[in-house]
Structure 1
Amino acid sequence: MKLPALDKTAKTINRVRYYAAGITRHAVPREWYLQRCRQILGDLEASPELEELMRRANYYNRLPHCSVQLGTRLNAVDRAQSRYYFDLDEYLRYFPCRLKVNYLFGDVTWVPNAPSLVKSRPTGEANENSVLLNLDKLRHFRLCADDTPWAKKKPMAVWRGALNNPLRVELLRRHQQSEFADVGHIGEAKDGLQAKGFLSPQEQMGYRYILSIEGFDVATNLKWIMASRSVCVMPKGRYETWFMEGGLIPDHHFVEVRPDFSDLEDKIAELERNPQWAQDIVANANAYVASFCDRKTERKISLLVLQKYFEATGQLPPSAFSPLFFQQTRELQPA
């Protein structure tokens, strides 16, 4: 998986491309997308990849058949939050505009009362009304190249970020003076917690261990850490997005530490004693990230998620996928 550098110029180019693509989609008649959707879903019916695609689609959308009040026609979604709008509209355009959806933009850390399209949801049971799509991906799916060999990385943990939840505060209270961790928040010193200078993703990749700590919902840095040559270290997450954070396996995709970070030094010492384990975790994490990087595959899954949403809410008749949509058990976990 070859990734680009993520300097300021590259970020600007990516942003321009993103908005240009969103605007260009509106110049294409909706009928083209409707025909394309029928073709894509039709080709999937006998596809050998259907089982894997359906596994992920049913993870994102756990809705049973339900009778609900739906509020917004597909061509009337609010455009005020442009990144969320463009990401949602990218796939809504493949369906008739007479259909309706409920949706919530932003960091959603609760389960809505009605089936809704969201970026994030709590992990675990009883989250069926939270239907995940890949929203705000310009911010959350930023991946960049890591060219620093393991031997040249500092044998320490690193973290930079805002103090926007108790986990992050606890990290600094316990480890801001630790010799094995370079941790600090961005901003002014307060309450005895020191501020440190900004470190870019590339600068943080100069360390062997990078901490990922949830903010308002998921940790924004998780994807690029897992795509790097460094080990992701974090407490088990409470929220998940399109990245299926709830299915990450501790000590396989990342190294799990306690929420109070009391075992952080011990975990780093263990990794330093066992570099092969560290390299195995990096390899597993890299492979996990790579499974989200094929645009055609992500489009197929997104269309299946929405097809199930419209069938579950009674707006579309049963399709060839209905038996797979609605006869699933609760073992839906990432491979």
Structure 2
Amino acid sequence: MTRTTQVVVVGGGQAGLAAGYHLRRLGVEFVILDAQAAPGGAWQYTWDSLHLFSPAAFSSLPGWLMPTQAGAEYPDAAHVVSYLRDYEKRYDLPVERPVRVLGVHRDGELLRVETDSRTWRARAVLSSTGTWWRPFLPAVPGRGVFGGVQLHTVEYRRPQDFVGRRVIVVGGGNSGAQIAADLAYDHELTWVTQRPPRFLADNIDGRALFDAATGRRRALDEGHTDTGGVASLGDIVAVPPVREARDRGLLKAAPMFSRLTRGGVEWADGTCAEADAVIWCTGFRPALSHLAPLQLRGRRGHIATTGTRAVDEPRLHLLGYGDWTGPASATLIGVGRPARDASREIAQLVRA
């Protein structure tokens, strides 16, 4: 069975919903195809203690401020899931789920979107599948030898799952710091980072990070010197749990080990540490396998874009994958502006 629409949005998380909001306001016909069984995107799969970096009012999608969460300055992931579910209902966005997109193909003047349920044909496709579904694991020697448990950030849920275990957390970003802080009190923890951890000033949260990312993009667009954006401020937002563990002296990072052994890890100088579990907080890559039939990827895996539009396929836009598809576009507060710009370009295309 084949259906036709003006625009297919692939992914029903925060980026897909922001795009849907703007497409609806522009009067564009569209459908959002979401692989998940329920609303909330990746937020429904995060660890239990995760909180946003910013207050609710500064963590909102276009059109509707996120309601505050009682007793929490920084809302938790469950609150975000509820907000995304209600946002979808509030604007009556046409989301179909669970629908897994298998591939996007050129089909004459249209793009053909093959799914596990039916085929869609559209004038344009907006890809907003994010990165959570493609965790990155570094090629560290001995990873296949280690006899304990290995998890990625996406699989970690709560410290109670590691009672009585010696745990090594790898990663100097926000996920690594937050999970290390989660485990710092009642576990034998070793926190390992590639370079000494860089905590942002305690008064900096997601609002300042969005401003920094936007300022960097503006400077680059105007031909000025690169400000460094968020990276110039540090790597770790000192949210309250991280700040508390740090101030208690519980977040002292060791340098990256050189290899895993059967019973733990070993550094280049021969120092060893025993471990029962390793949690890899080592980031993600864009989930773009559905776009493989278009053959757009460069040598580094990214698709070349101008704004959100693919350079070599102007009927395709990419949204929410990081700064290369809009400043802070992988965040709730940051995705609104590139979603608006992408929707405007798409509206012009489908009406041409």
Scaled by the length of structure 2, the TM-score of the pair is 0.24
Scaled by the length of structure 1, the TM-score of the pair is 0.25
Higher relative contact order (CA 8 A, sep 6+): 2
Query: Going by fraction, where is strand more abundant, 1 or 2?
Result: 2
Query: Going by fraction, where is helix more abundant, 1 or 2?
Result: 1
